[in-house]
Amino acid sequence: MVLSVYAAHIVAMALITAVTGHSFGPAQSVGTLAAFTVGLTAAAVVWSRFAPRGPLEWVLGRATLLTVRTGRRVSAGWSRPSRP
């Protein structure tokens, strides 16, 4: 769930900035760090009780599965023909 938690952190910071006007600089207070850590950890634990993957991990997993099933593999500007 690392990707989902990281994305949630960015979204939370953007929402707080939009609502309160608080600017997140390079250094934040220990309270802010603790609030983000506890809040996102709690959300991740609750989510993991109901689903084995985070939402963004699920989307990327499905996209990867679809790519593998169709046999299309493209990397760094070159492609390999799919096998019959």
pLDDT tens column, 26-37: 777 888 889 888
H/E stretch holding 73 = strand 73-75
Q: What are the distances in angstroms from CA 30 to CA 33, 34, 40, 43?
A: 5, 6, 15, 20
Residue 2 has pLDDT above 90, yes or no: no
Q: Which residues of 19-50 are buried (b: 16+ CB within 10 A; e: fewer)?
A: eeeeeeeeeeeeeeeeebeeebeebeeebeee
Whether pLDDT at 12 is above 70: yes
**Domain locations along the chain:** 2-23+30-69
Q: Report the pLDDT value the prediction gives residue 31, as an integer from 0 to 100.
A: 87
pLDDT in tens, 48-71: 899 888 899 999 988 888 877 776
pTM for the predicted model, two decimal places: 0.65
Residue showing tokens 């006007």: 21
